[in-house]
Amino acid sequence: MRTKKLAAIFTALLTCASLVLTGCGGKQSASSGESDGGVYKDKIAIGCTTWIGYAPLHLAVEKGFFKDEGLDVEMRVIESAGDIKSALKSGQIKGMAQTIDTEVMANSAGLKLKEVLPLCNSNGGDGIVAKKEYNSLADLKGKTIALDTTGGASLFWFNNLLDAQGMTMQDFDVKNMSAGDAGSAFVGGQVDAAVTWEPWLSNANKTTFGKTLVTSKASPGVIVDALCFDSDFAAKNPKTVQTIIKVWFKAVQYAKDHPDEAYPIMAKSQNMSVDDFKAQLPNIEYFNEDMTKDYLIGGKMAEMAQKASDLWIKMKLMTEPVKGTDIVDASFAKAALGL
């Protein structure tokens, strides 16, 4: 699953500092490869954790969709989100796939990023589980709720829910733990509720005392994974970024039209069986062209990035604010779509 740990991010960024300094103290260029007319000629490594939301990118590599467009793209699986950001800062990779809120935090921590494409929307894969006697967030006031308070999609989504109901985290007895540990703690009867993700939502429903109170399906567009690139790389190689976006759309459509061929490849990229992969698919939505026009080009993605910045600043998890319209750049997708 996706890893979203703030402490790991900052530790990794500090650790990699020695890797990105030259003898004269300069930053290693993130776009050191040869570029010809906005087309990058060398290998383009994109970092990601293991997550089914990124499976179409793996499919595109395996099917040769990138090669067909003259690009040498490699998906580099790095399970630590902090290590992914270290690799991007040092120039070992040119882009990464993470949630919008995580990329906003990384940008504030020193990376200069351009979010160019939404990849997948959580469609029920994240949620809140609670004891059966509680039927709303208001019912949970004063109760123990397990939640990762260090940053990331669960915390961001939870606070969006609270904001809509005029509530804050101070209304609960919050126990800080990772999303996976939160789910485990709930199933073990240690807390009244938990903000977690699959398979813990399903596991909670199997208990005699628990249920899923609400899922991300009720708030589309909040937990969204996005593809971002080093801003210098994107500026110097716009045609390459545009082509990668086109290939994404091709891979998403191919998976829809040829599932019998695509799903085994996508499942293998996640170290899953085909049946398990199929079972998880309803929990997400891959962004196609129409969804991208609405969410990215329509300005909703920049609004969500701004919300993330505002929340992280308010919670003192970031010190430097990030402007949503600065980190989110729809120009590449517009060009890719001929708009």
Q: What is the pLDDT along the chain (339 residues), one digit of tens a residue?
A: 454 434 344 334 434 433 333 333 333 343 445 566 678 989 999 999 999 999 999 999 999 999 999 999 999 999 988 899 899 999 999 999 999 999 999 999 999 999 999 999 999 999 999 999 999 999 999 999 999 999 889 999 999 999 999 999 999 999 999 999 999 999 999 999 999 999 999 999 999 999 999 999 999 999 999 999 999 999 999 999 999 999 999 999 999 999 999 999 999 999 999 999 999 999 999 999 999 999 999 999 999 999 999 999 999 999 999 999 999 999 999 999 999
Bridge-partner residues for 40, per DSSP? 35
Tokens at residue 320, please?
Answer: 């430097």
The answer to whether 71 and 243 are in contact (CB under 8 A) is yes
**Amino acid at the residue 251:** A
Residue whose structure tokens are 């517009």: 334
Report the chain's terminal Cα–Cα distance, integer Å: 35
Would you tell me the crossing angle of helices 55-62 and 259-269 to the nearest 10 degrees? 110
Say which residues have a Cβ less than 8 Å from residue 153's Cβ, sequence separation at least 6: 2, 4, 99, 101, 102, 122, 126, 223
| CATH numbers and ranges of domains, the chain | 6-123+222-336 (3.40.190.10), 126-218 (3.40.190.10)
Tokens at residue 259, please?
Answer: 């599932």
